Amino acid sequence: MGRKLNKVQTSLPREDWCTPPDILDGVRFVLEGQIGLDPCWNKHALTDPVVKFDLTQGQDAFQRKWPTGSRFANPPYSRDANPAWAQLLHRDFYWEKEDQMILIPESCGQVWWEPNFDSTAIAFLGRVQFLGAPHVSPFNLCMVLRTLSEVTLDRFRRTYKTTVLGRYGELDAGERHFRQGVDETTRAIGRNGL
C-alpha cells in the first residue's frame, strides 16, 4: 500500500503551479525545441505550446481530442489529480505514441505509480521552485519521459544526469535498474520524509 501524503503535500492553496524557465529549457531541448501540446496550460505558463488546453477556462483535457505532436504536462498535484492524470497520460502514450514529458511528484511508493510509469525514463529533480511560488515545493519532483525514439532518449539522458530507465525497446535492460531505483527511493522517502 502506498504511503500517505501529509496535509501540506495535498492541500496547497492552488493547483496552477507553473514550470520554471530552467526546467522548460530542458524540456524544449529534449523535445527538439517545440512543445506540441500542454494539456495543463494556464495563462501564467511559459510553455508556449502549439496547442494548449486551459484548465482554468474549463478546457478539460479528459474530454478533448489530443492533436499529434509532443506533449509536456505539469498536471495539478492534488491527491485525486495525480492518479487520474497519470492514467490519462499513460493511455495517451499507449495509443498515440507521441513523445511525452511529465513533471510530477515523486510518488514511487503510491499504488497508482507503477502501472502508469513503469515504462519510462525518469529523472529525479528534488524540490522545485515553481514560477511565482514563495518557496520550493514541499515534495520532491521528477521528470518523466515516454518515447520510442533513441534520439529523444539520448537527449533526455544528456539533460538529466540522474536518469533511471523503464522498458521500451532497448530500455528492457534497464528494467531491473528502474525497479531497484524505485525501491531505494521509496525506502529513502520513508526514512527521511519529504
152-187 tens-digit pLDDT: 999 998 898 766 765 433 333 333 344 444 444 444
For the entire predicted model, the pTM comes to: 0.76
pLDDT of residue 109: 75
Of residues 161 and 124, which shows the higher confidence score? 124
Cα within 13 Å of Cα(171), Cβ side: 25
- Residues 136-155 pLDDT 10s: 988 889 899 999 999 999 99
Residue 6, pLDDT > 60, answer: no
CB proximity list for 174: less than 8 A, separation 6 or greater: 164, 165, 166, 167
Least confident piece of the model among 34-38, 62-66, 73-77, 185-189:
185-189
Residue 139 amino acid letter: F
Mean pLDDT value across residues 115-124: 78
Residue 192, pLDDT > 90, answer: no
User: Taking Cα atoms as reference points, which of 95, 94, 92 lies closest to residue 73?
Assistant: 92
Cα within 13 Å of Cα(194), Cβ side: 23
* Annotated domain spans of the chain: 7-192
Mean pLDDT value across residues 65-85: 88
Percent of the chain with pLDDT over 70: 74
Range among 76-80, 115-119, 125-129 rated most confident: 125-129
CB proximity list for 136: less than 8 A, separation 6 or greater: 127, 128, 129
Mean pLDDT value across residues 96-116: 85
Question: For residue 14, what pLDDT band results from cuts at 50, 70 and 90?
Answer: low
Of residues 191 and 75, which shows the higher confidence score? 75
The chain-wide mean pLDDT, for the chain, equals 77
Mean pLDDT value across residues 52-77: 88
Cα(29)–Cα(34) distance, integer angstroms? 8
CATH 3.40.50 fits 7-192, yes or no: yes
Cα(186)–Cα(190) distance, integer angstroms? 6
pLDDT of residue 57: 82
